[in-house]
């Protein structure tokens, strides 16, 4: 188990602030956030490469905050893999075992086991400059796993790979973790990657951990507008709420444009909903008087591979994603009058953003 308590780490004017996190034994945890939010600084601190100003890092019950990196039994795979160019694949994987003076026979067995597990057995005598990006990633993982680490730290492990290679490696990595059960912290800015890989995930913003939870919780119940935007909720509006019937409220996102939401809300709020949840139909549906239906005009149409992205001006621009399988007769057209319907269960009320306090 990894536990971090009230961690503060400073680099120039940037700082991780009061960072607290617990990752249970055997868990695959993804840490999400935009570039520059402090994700790499955090895992470098766990690895012992960066010394915190205050706070503690525990592995199990052991306080390792001031322990040297080589004594932590933590493996770190940086974004560029840092394979040794003068060593073969076999030499790279064996290097941690030789540093720890493992017997040659045990080292050879471990190299073969990991090479088979990661499908790189035919590559053992190659050098890094003769490997593809996906092959380098497998070698880096094998080297990191060679000494059976207590925690495996992965910094954007797939960022340098094309989408096709990522799609092939994601399930392989998931299968590898299910087999080895190594406690893993995987840093990424790709929420599709995190959704596929993680049992739980956390979202970072400007040096702070702003939300931790299951994939379902974070992606569908973001705590702040910034988290909602980061996990892909394109429709995000400041609003004013007022209670309606029992168990529901009305939120006004523009003059005369009100949506029904679940729960009791009052006063200034922020609302968010996914473009996939917006239904588009003929403009006559708006005349039914339903609170969740609003007439507007299509102002943008963007064809995608399996869907069409439509922006409808209903007083504010509302983004809808329509699967191609639902477009029966004709494509939506610019200037077309349509009705947007947003179901109450799709609208999520988030807390208003608070201004960031200056770091002490």
- For the stretch 262-309, pLDDT in tens is 988 889 999 999 999 999 987 555 455 566 789 999 999 999 888 999
Q: Which domains does the chain have, with CATH numbers?
A: 2-225 (3.40.50.300), 226-279+292-350 (2.40.50.100)
- For the stretch 130-186, pLDDT in tens is 999 889 999 999 999 998 899 999 999 888 788 888 888 888 888 889 988 999 999
Reported as a pLDDT band with limits 50, 70 and 90, residue 329 is: low
Residues 6+ apart with CB under 8 A from 43: 31, 76, 153, 155, 185, 187
Dist. CA 304–CA 122, nearest whole Å: 39
Q: What is the mean pLDDT of residues 234-251?
A: 90
Dist. CA 13–CA 106, nearest whole Å: 47
Dist. CA 141–CA 344, nearest whole Å: 45
Dist. CA 5–CA 19, nearest whole Å: 7
- The token duo for 11 is 């680099």
Reported as a pLDDT band with limits 50, 70 and 90, residue 357 is: very low
pLDDT score, position 127: 96
- For the stretch 134-144, pLDDT in tens is 899 999 999 99
Residues 6+ apart with CB under 8 A from 289: none
Cα distances from 9 to residues 40, 56, 208, 250, in angstroms, run 12, 11, 11, 43
Cβ-contact 150, 74 below 8 angstroms: yes
Sheet holding 235-243, edge to edge: 257-262, 248-254, 235-243, 267-273, 348-350
Q: Is the pLDDT of residue 43 over 50?
A: yes
Q: Is 274 exposed, middle or buried (0-12, 13-18, 19+ CB in 10 A)?
A: buried
pLDDT score, position 22: 96
Q: Is the pLDDT of residue 247 over 90?
A: no
Dist. CA 348–CA 341, nearest whole Å: 15
Compute how many other C-beta atoms are within 10 angstroms of the C-beta atom of residue 290: 12
- For the stretch 78-125, pLDDT in tens is 988 889 999 999 999 999 999 989 999 999 999 999 999 898 999 999
pLDDT score, position 11: 87
pLDDT score, position 355: 43
pLDDT score, position 160: 77
């Amino acid at each position: 188990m990894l536990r971090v308590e009230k961690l503060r780490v400073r680099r120039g004017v940037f700082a991780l602030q009061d960072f607290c996190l617990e990752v249970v034994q055997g868990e695959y945890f993804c840490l999400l956030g935009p570039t520059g939010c402090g994700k790499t600084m955090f895992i470098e601190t766990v690895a012992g490469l960066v010394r915190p100003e205050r706070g503690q890092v525990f592995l199990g019950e052991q306080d390792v905050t001031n322990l040297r990196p080589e004594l932590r039994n933590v493996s770190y795979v940086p974004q560029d893999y840092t394979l040794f160019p003068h060593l073969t694949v076999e030499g790279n994987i064996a290097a941690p075992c030789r540093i720890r003076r493992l017997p040659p026979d045990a080292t050879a067995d471990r190299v073969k086991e990991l090479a088979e597990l990661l499908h790189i057995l035919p590559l053992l005598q190659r050098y890094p400059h003769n490997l593809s990006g996906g092959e380098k990633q497998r070698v880096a993982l094998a080297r990191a796993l060679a000494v059976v680490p207590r925690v495996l730290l992965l910094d954007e492990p797939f960022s340098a790979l094309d989408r096709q290679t990522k799609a092939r490696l994601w399930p392989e990595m998931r299968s590898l973790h299910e087999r080895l059960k190594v406690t893993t912290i995987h840093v990424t800015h790709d929420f599709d990657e995190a959704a596929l890989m993680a049992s739980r995930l956390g979202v970072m913003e400007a040096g702070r951990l702003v939300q931790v939870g299951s994939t379902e919780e974070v992606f569908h119940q973001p705590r702040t507008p910034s988290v909602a935007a980061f996990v892909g909720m394109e429709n995000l509006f400041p609003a004013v709420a007022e209670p309606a019937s029992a168990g529901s409220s009305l939120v006004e996102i523009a003059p005369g444009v009100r949506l029904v939401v679940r729960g009791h809300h009052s006063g200034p709020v922020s609302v968010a909903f996914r473009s996939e949840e917006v239904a588009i139909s003929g403009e006559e549906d708006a005349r039914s008087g339903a609170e969740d239906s609003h007439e507007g005009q299509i102002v943008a149409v963007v064809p995608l591979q399996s869907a069409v992205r439509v922006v409808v001006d209903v007083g504010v621009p509302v983004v809808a994603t329509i699967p191609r399988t639902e477009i029966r007769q004709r494509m939506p057209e610019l200037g077309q009058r349509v009705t947007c319907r947003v179901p109450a269960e799709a609208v999520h009320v988030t807390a208003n953003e608070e201004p960031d306090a200056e770091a002490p």
